């Protein structure tokens, strides 16, 4: 399992988000604090019954945001690996 990322910032359009990674029972959970008035969001990777992985919010209910922001988080981590 890879090391936990130190806190980092992401931007999407004019929105800046602060992201911190945590581990719960060997599962990576990302806590996102938005620069606007949205409530913070926790996202993680889950697996459906067909074995396909997807980003989801915890608790559930903000799936659209989780999928979009999960891709941003994954791209950030992948780009750091290449450095």
Per-residue model confidence as pLDDT tens digits over 16-51: 999 999 999 999 999 999 999 999 999 999 999 999
Residue pointed to by tokens 């599962």: 27
What pLDDT is stored for residue 59 in this prediction? 85
Share of the chain above pLDDT 70, in %: 99
Q: What is the pTM of this model?
A: 0.91
Between 17 and 80, residue with greater pLDDT: 17
Nearest 10 degrees: CA dihedral of 28, 59, 40, 46? 30
Residue pointed to by tokens 């926790």: 42
Q: What share of the chain is helix, strand, coil (3-state, %, to 5)?
A: 25, 40, 35
Q: What is the DSSP letter of 61?
A: S
Dist CA 9 CA 34 (whole Å):
10
């Amino acid at each position: 399992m890879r090391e936990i990322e130190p806190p980092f910032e992401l931007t999407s359009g004019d929105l800046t988000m602060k992201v911190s990674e945590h581990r719960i029972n060997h599962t990576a959970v990302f806590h996102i604090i938005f620069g606007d008035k949205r409530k913070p969001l926790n996202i993680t990777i889950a697996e459906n019954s067909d074995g396909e992985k997807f980003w989801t919010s915890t608790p559930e209910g903000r799936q659209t945001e989780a999928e979009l922001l999960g891709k941003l988080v994954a791209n950030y981590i992948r780009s750091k690996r290449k450095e």
